[in-house]
Amino acid sequence: MNTSVIHSLRSFTPPLKGAEDRGSEPACAGLDGTKSQWLRHWRGLQGKPAPRQSRLRGFLGCSRGIASLALALLGSVSVSSFAQDKPWSHMGRAATPAEVKAWDIDVRPDFKGLPVGAGNVSLGETVWEGKCASCHGTFGESNEVFTPIIGGTTKADIKTGRVKGLEEGKSIVPQKTTFMKVATVSTLFDYINRAMPWNAPKTLKTEEVYGVLAYLLSLAEVVPGDFTLSDKNIAEVQKRMPNRNGMAFHEPMWKVNGKGDVKNVACMKNCAIDPVVHSSLPAFARDAHGNIAEQNRVVGPVRGADTTKPEPKGLVGSGSAPKAVVVAAASSGDAAIKGLLASNACTACHGVKNKIVGPGFNEIATKYKNKSKADQERYLMGKIKSGGTGVWGSVPMPPQAQLSDADAKAIAQWIAAGAP
């Protein structure tokens, strides 16, 4: 209720105790019942007797008047109140406990959030060879796709908790690896669990995450080759991390019982809109993942921009509304194939008509067009399932072992047909 309604109702409210002694009277006359009826009731409340019937009649009369007025005033502001609601107030819903649990998977340095489980080095090596080595190398040393994970640490570093190769002016390694920099083993578990493998994140079982981490720790000589890592002993492993004491501590920033050295001056409420675009995609990358307007969004009715056309000028929404894009040529089979490509992260490396990390699907179709359809499909299916390197350059393609034979064959057939 806004203040105007409150003030309006307040003018019809009986005065505070003692007001009548100062010569004022309740201003309820004229609503329903007479002023004298209401006054008799008011005096009755102040300890001055009044006939029961008159008091009740006066009270009910004025109450009906106040109620009628309140309803009228509330009715007059209801439209404006709803009009002032935030435009997104009707969108979405509260997340269910199961949905929160599915996303609440972070593991903290004190190991809060760490799932119960265990995995040994041998299991980790098997998983690593099948799902990780194509990008990171058999021993975590590859520099082809990502920077190396293993290397640059010594037994002395494990003892002191400070990597000597990171000391200022004493760098003895050509490149900084993950194990040189990371201070907490929980960081490694958390990242592997939520983001790996690159083409199928969150698909590793808990014991596989423990096993992969145990394998990496053994490569870095933090644990022996027959070690089993678990939620019960991971805290002890933390005490052997090579750079566990290498984190910088900035007291003014992290201090909790005093002022820090960070002051927020950013606008957080009723902020002016900045019309200047400070960053944007380069033109060549606009269509890197196909026409966004043709790709259904999983949330809401809004489709993406038509990325086959130049980026519009002016602020978003200032131009004419885009026309709906209807892909008449796309069959249900094509839609299913593109769904497979998206759900298995194939489009993270391959564009339909252009190279991203690996070649575009149409480039693959062109390269093997002289083979028979059967030979194309057989060859492509094998490459999809097993991965490989050297055909299109030195960057390896990870094996897509999670794909069923039927899905791999369907993708191979689609590419052999020209990747339409």
- For 389-416, the pLDDT digits (tens) are 778 877 778 888 788 888 989 998 898 8
For residue 393 the two structure tokens come to: 């350059």
For residues 14 and 189, the model is more confident at 189
Q: Which residue has the tokens 């994140």?
A: 201
Report pLDDT for 301.
Answer: 53
For residues 19 and 120, the model is more confident at 120
pLDDT tens-digit profile of 325-382?
Answer: 444 444 556 778 888 888 787 887 888 888 887 888 888 888 888 888 888 888 899 8
One fold for both 101-238 and 332-416? Answer: yes
Looking at the predicted structure, is the pLDDT value of residue 26 above 50? no
Task: Please answer whether residues 361 and 290 qualify as being in contact, where contact means their C-beta atoms are separated by less than 8 angstroms.
Answer: no
Q: What is the mean pLDDT of residues 226-255?
A: 86
Looking at the predicted structure, is the pLDDT value of residue 23 above 60? no
Report pLDDT for 89.
Answer: 72
- What φ, ψ does residue 355 adopt, rounded to 5°? -80, 140
What separation in angstroms does the CA of 299 have from each of 90, 289, 303, 334, 406?
14, 19, 10, 22, 29
Cα–Cα nearest to 142, from 154, 156, 155, 128: 128
Can you count the helices (H) and strands (E) in the chain?
16, 2
Domain boundaries, the chain: 3-83, 101-238, 332-416
Global model pTM greater than 0.85: no
Residue 196's pLDDT band (cuts 50, 70, 90)? very high
For domain 332-416, the CATH architecture is Orthogonal Bundle (1.10)
For residue 295 the two structure tokens come to: 């790709």
Whole-angstrom distance, CA of residue 234 vs CA of residue 405: 38
- H/E element, 230: strand 228-230
Looking at the predicted structure, is the pLDDT value of residue 383 above 70? yes
Whole-angstrom distance, CA of residue 134 vs CA of residue 112: 32
Whole-angstrom distance, CA of residue 213 vs CA of residue 190: 10
Rg for the chain (alpha carbons), in Å?
Answer: 35
For domain 101-238, the CATH architecture is Orthogonal Bundle (1.10)
For residues 306 and 24, the model is more confident at 306
Report pLDDT for 3.
Answer: 44
For residues 134 and 69, the model is more confident at 134
How far is CA 389 from its chain centroid?
33
What percent of the chain lies above the pLDDT cut of 70? 66
Looking at the predicted structure, is the pLDDT value of residue 27 above 50? no
Q: Collapse the DSSP code of 24 into the 3-class scheme (helix H, G, I; strand E, B; otherwise coil) and give the result.
A: coil
- H/E element, 118: strand 118-120
DSSP 283-319: GGGTTTTS-GGGS--SSSS-----TTSPPPSSSTTSS
Residue 77's pLDDT band (cuts 50, 70, 90)? very low
Looking at the predicted structure, is the pLDDT value of residue 54 above 50? no
- H/E element, 379: helix 373-386
Positive/negative CA dihedral, 51, 57, 60, 65 = negative
Positive/negative CA dihedral, 202, 207, 213, 216 = negative
Report the mean per-residue pLDDT for the chain.
75
Whole-angstrom distance, CA of residue 68 vs CA of residue 259: 54
For residues 168 and 368, the model is more confident at 368
The angle formed by the CA atoms of residues 342, 343 and 346, to the nearest 5 degrees, is: 50
